[in-house]
Chains A and B, each alone.
Chain A
Amino acid sequence: MNIEVRLFATLRTGRFKKEVQTFERTVTPKDILDQLDIPIEEVAILLINGRDGQFDTELLDKDVISVFPPVGGG
């Protein structure tokens, strides 16, 4: 199963912008974030295929997840 992972802003630091990752078993966005050492509390927006998603959703082959950090200054 291939999942495209897109990281934005500071989450790219030391990681990547976009990468297709292959998994032998079912995974959730939380599993992928854990593997990338991204704590859930550092994620403000999680999209699955461009729509608001949940951390515990079981992903399907060719799904795309996009992950953004909280931007809150003024």
Chain B
Amino acid sequence: MMRYSKNENMLTPEENKSLKNFRVAVIGCGGLGGYCIEMLARLGIGSIVCVDGDVFDESNLNRQLLSEEALIGYPKAKAAEKHIYRINSNVQMTAFDMMLTEENHEKILAKCDVVVDAVDSIDTKLFLQDICEKLDLPLIHGAIGGWYGQVSTIMPGDRTLDLVYKNKKSIEKELGNPSFTPGTIASMQLAEVLKVLLNKGEILTKKLLFIDLLNHDYEVLEF
């Protein structure tokens, strides 16, 4: 398809063809999630599950790709579904206008190949690590706060977040988030998703990429 012609030289024909067979879940459709969902769809991932029980408010407009003035009060997951169908109608979107819970996660994540962490609370990130381990799913962790962000690929059993969050008082509560940090970290997460799906390149397993956009520090920590 001409749509994917610009993907074709960086992936093999077989890899390109395989993308439509994957199902990726994005938990959280806000700052990170909006960019992740859009990039998955443009990449040609066949099936995207998006999960968020929240609605847009005015304070989201500075950074959340899916937010619009006309969508204030509208469910984020539903907005993601509508947005993606305008971009790539070949993608099968499944939107859950609800939070992921102990009760619903098995049904929501059924048949997924990878889960993307785009949630905004450390407790929920640790919950995602638990359920992905239980379901034997790779988790692509991303987190942001102000000028700072981090990415890690957590394979079942790694428990990397146990070491990354010795304490849970996120700086994001004080710093907020600008327009550019979500896109930076989401892009890193998407590269990890693609490499995990295609078993290609080096991934950040048992590692954490920590990014400081204010001072240009890019550290890969090993655990």
Contact = CB atoms under 8 A, between A and B. Distances in A.
B167 A70 contact: yes
3 A-B pairs closest in CB distance: A73-B172, A72-B170, A74-B120
A60 interface: no
Interface of B: 28, 30-33, 117-122, 125, 142-150, 163-175, 177, 208, 210, 212, 215, 217, 219, 221-223
26 contacts: A8-B217, A9-B148, A9-B210, A9-B212, A10-B174, A10-B175, A41-B167, A41-B169, A43-B167, A44-B164, A44-B168, A46-B166, A50-B222, A51-B223, A68-B210, A69-B171, A70-B122, A70-B165, A70-B169, A71-B143, A72-B120, A72-B121, A72-B122, A72-B125, A73-B177, A74-B144
B212 A72 contact: no
Interface of A: 8-10, 12, 17, 40-47, 50-52, 66, 68-74
A17 B142 CA distance: 24
Given A45-B166, A52-B163, A74 B222 contact: no
A71 B117 contact: no
Nearest to B124: A74
B166 A43 contact: yes
Nearest to B31: A74
Most buried by A among B31, B147, B163: B163
Contacts of B125: 72
A40 B147 CA distance: 22
